Chains A and B, each alone.
Chain A
Amino acid sequence: MNKLEVNNLNLFYGDNHALKDISLEIPARQVTALIGPSGCGKSTLLRTLNRMNDLVSGVTISGDVKFEGEDIYSDVDVKQLRMRVGMVFQKPNPFPMSIYENVAFGLKAQGMKDKKQLDSIVEESLRGAALWDEVKEQLNTPAFGLSGGQQQRLCIARAIAMQPEVILMDEPTSALDPIATHKIEELMDELRKKFTIVIVTHSMNQAKRISDKTAFFWMGELVEHGETSQIFNQPKDLRTQGYVSGEFG
């Protein structure tokens, strides 16, 4: 069962053809890694999946993106889409408020006021992001007091508090040290049981370690996609082979 389906997607930034005729299926409850050199369009594709590109002016899109069979670029409520397709960014971006308020933010934005219910979702989400034990004594302190790795797990907790079905991750560990990275990767192994994960990564080792499926992008094209083991061990395309073996990119 495919959670997300991209069909013949073309995306332009003004005249710049950033995504060229992309077709890709993203299966449910698996980790799909998008890899490729900088500027290849992998982050752009990720941002079409929850319509974050809407914020950029001058973007035109053709083709379609289907979430559970429904075209997300037709007349859908973007806010609902984003609740169901959560996102974690490259740099940890907690809001300037307390840890608790960060996790409760999305729920409160939807008008949830019941303190008990909020409390329990905040705890559950922080546990789900493997952060609860570290912060349970300081829920009301500013989120900026946390380390970078903790902040990123807080952002994951904030995303899973919305009980999304998909979590998009845009190089979630590129700003973190190896130990914090390891923790996030361990966490992703847990998250894949409940969520569909799409991750953009620059680290081929990370893609190899955590993903089930891998898609390789090159200059706006989707060159090759398939099982991660196949992409890394028997790539069909020469460009894929060159990239995963570290010859360029």
Chain B
Amino acid sequence: MDTVNKIRTSELQLAQKQTYDWVEKGFHLLFLCSAMVGVISVATIAWFLFHEGLPAFQEAGVSELILGREWLPPALFGIFPMIVASLISTAGAVIIGIPIAILTAVFLAELAPKWLADIVRPAVELLAGIPSVVYGFFGLVIIVPAIETLFNIPAGNTILAGIIVLAIMILPTVITISETSLRALPSVYKEGALALGASHIYSIFKVLVPAARSGILTGVALGVARAIGETMAIIMVMGNAPAMPGSILEPARTLTANIAMEMSYATGVHASALYSTGIVLLVFIVLLNASLLYVNRKRSF
């Protein structure tokens, strides 16, 4: 109080504008610099990928590289089978994982009694912290043999094994973000729906989930990004043959696995082709984010 009075009484008139507010400007700069770290990183990564990867496109040809079906370095650099493998394993993980994740999120946010939610939620969070090499190990010991027995095939290292491991890996991201966005909804949605005599389940699917749509889609996009970018676990369970897979019960090599497995010894055009594999991955992620933006904008009420 004293300080306030002192300021008030000592200067009856409003003080002159200070010439330059260093503290204010300093913090502005600090915030700006922090924000720039992310932007600069992404720009650097993109520049470096294109710088290293473009020679392969020039050397081998864009269509030969992207649509080529044979990967025989240093002669043929077709990554089409890997594009297919990445897309199929990601799509499969999404088809299995996303419904489970969204139902779990609804269960945690709306249906589970507190004691049960208090068990499920930490378990899910723990799942997020498990390193991908451990997932790979789990896939190798449990899922791969299970597929061998179930489908009676000699080697269980297949796309299906990859799909199952990825589906589990994306669960925590999608569950946590979806649950948070469901919980963030104002209670008036639920009350409004119930007050009209709608059942709890009907209210959840017709009002709450659509209302939390943009948050849930963000979770889905992050899950997809994780699935398409996953490397270690995939290398361990998918067999990694660079040939075009005939079904999900055959081994395949994803884009990420291709880079990780050959980078240590590749030189020249071969190395450059691995960078161009990275470019293709980057393009996928950009497309994913763009379509998320588009969907969110198109139908936002």
Contacts and interface: CB of A to CB of B under 8 A. Distances in A.
B194 A95 contact: no
Interface string A127-169: 0000000000000001110000000000100110010000000
Nearest to A94: B192
Contact of B191 (A52, A109, A158, A159): A52
Contact of B210 (A55, A93, A97): A97
A109 B199 CA distance: 8
Interface residues of B, number: 21
Contacts of A183: none
B195 A50 contact: yes
A242 B294 CA distance: 58
B137 interface: no
Contacts of A106: 196-198
Residue of B189, B194, B199, B213 with highest tally of chain A CB at under 10 A: B194
Interface in B207-253: 207, 210-211, 213
A83 B194 CA distance: 9
Contact of A95 (B197, B211, B213): B211
Contacts of B47: none
A245 interface: no
Nearest to B203: A109
Contacts of B107: none
A113 to B, nearest CB: 14
A159 B197 CA distance: 10
A95 B193 CA distance: 8
A90 to B, nearest CB: 8
Nearest to B196: A106
Interface in B168-220: 186, 188-199, 202-203, 206-207, 210-211, 213
Contact of B196 (A91, A105, A144): A105
A95 B301 CA distance: 9
Contacts of A144: 301
A222 to B, nearest CB: 24
B198 A105 contact: yes
A3 B189 CA distance: 28
Contacts of A155: 192
A132 B191 CA distance: 25
A109 B301 contact: no
B197 A162 contact: yes
A143 B192 CA distance: 14
- Classify chain A: how many residues form its interface, as a range: 20 to 34
A38 interface: no
B192 A93 contact: yes
Contacts, number: 75
Given A96-B210, A97-B210, A109-B206, A79 B198 contact: yes
A47 to B, nearest CB: 9
B202 A109 contact: yes
Q: Find the residue from B194, B196, B210 having the highest chain A CB count within 10 A.
A: B196
A81 B213 CA distance: 30
A87 B195 contact: yes
A203 B194 CA distance: 27
A82 interface: yes
Contacts of B192: 89, 93, 95, 155, 158
Interface in A76-105: 79-83, 86-87, 89, 91, 93, 95-97, 105
B206 A105 contact: yes
Given A89-B188, A143-B301, A105 B193 contact: yes
B210 A83 contact: no
A60 interface: no
B211 A96 contact: yes
A110 interface: yes
A142 B281 CA distance: 37
Contacts of B189: 93, 95-96
Given A86-B196, A105-B196, A93 B188 contact: yes
Report which residue of A80, A105, A110 has the largest number of chain B beta carbons within 10 angstroms of its beta carbon.
Answer: A105
Given A96-B301, A105-B206, A80 B197 contact: yes
A142 B194 CA distance: 21
B196 A159 contact: yes
A247 B202 CA distance: 47
13 contacts: A52-B194, A86-B195, A89-B192, A89-B195, A93-B186, A95-B211, A105-B193, A106-B198, A109-B197, A109-B202, A109-B206, A162-B196, A162-B197
Instruction: Give the 6 A-B CB pairs with smallest separation, nearest first.
Output: A106-B196, A83-B197, A109-B198, A93-B188, A142-B301, A87-B195
Interface of B: 186, 188-199, 202-203, 206-207, 210-211, 213, 301
Given A95-B206, A105-B193, A110-B197, 20 more contacts: A50-B195, A52-B191, A52-B194, A52-B195, A55-B190, A55-B191, A86-B196, A89-B192, A93-B186, A95-B207, A96-B189, A96-B213, A97-B210, A105-B198, A105-B206, A105-B207, A106-B198, A109-B198, A142-B301, A162-B197
Interface of A: 50, 52, 55, 79-83, 86-87, 89, 91, 93, 95-97, 105-106, 108-110, 142-144, 155, 158-159, 162
